[in-house]
Amino acid sequence: MNKSKKNNDSNLPYLKERVCFDPILPLYPKIFIIGTKPGNQELRKQEYYANNGNSFWKIIYEVTEEVFSKNYADRIDLLKRNHIAIWDICQFGERVRPGASNVKNEVPNPINEIVQMYPSVKQIVFNGQKAHDLYFKHFTEIEGIIYEVVLSTSPANTRFSFREKLNNWKTTIL
């Protein structure tokens, strides 16, 4: 056997990669925030919204009126204390390049199954239009749930200032 022979992977079919984390689910979530998928920095750090340019955590701390922390465990505790669940719509997909809208042939997470398991959920908030569009590509509305789209907290969303994003989130979150 020739050990120096390289394996030619170019003949293998493209496999979908998992592009999400497990959900953050408090005991009785009231609000379920749905993103699209984690970016490269989030995947490297294995943390939701780990990109310093993403305003998600700053906005969540402002909305909940709590003291900001950079500690990820503190951030997860903040969500749980405030009955906020988070997850991404894409479970698997083919990543064509960085960015929330650059996954094709996505397989969604079972969002509606989770919502139905937690009757305490009253609102689904989509972190950006892409999350909304993918949700409604794969799911239908659940009766009794309020659906809202907020301005994306992504650093790629430079059309709006932090203050505009914050005000939008404050007027949307129940």
Query: pLDDT tens for residues 11-55?
Result: 434 446 667 899 999 999 999 999 998 888 898 999 999 999 999
8 A C-beta contact, residue 85 and residue 32: yes
Question: What's the CA angle centered on 83, arms 127 and 20, to 5 degrees?
Answer: 45
Residues 6+ apart with CB under 8 A from 59: 153, 165, 166, 169
Q: Please state, in angstroms and as integers, the Cα–Cα distance from residue 166 to each residue in 55, 57, 72, 91, 150, following that order.
A: 9, 11, 21, 27, 9
Residue 174 and residue 163: Cα distance in Å, rounded? Answer: 19
- The DSSP letter of residue 10 is G
Query: pLDDT tens for residues 68-109?
Result: 999 999 999 999 999 999 999 988 877 665 555 566 788 899
Residue 66 and residue 143: Cα distance in Å, rounded? Answer: 32
Give residue 12's pLDDT: 37
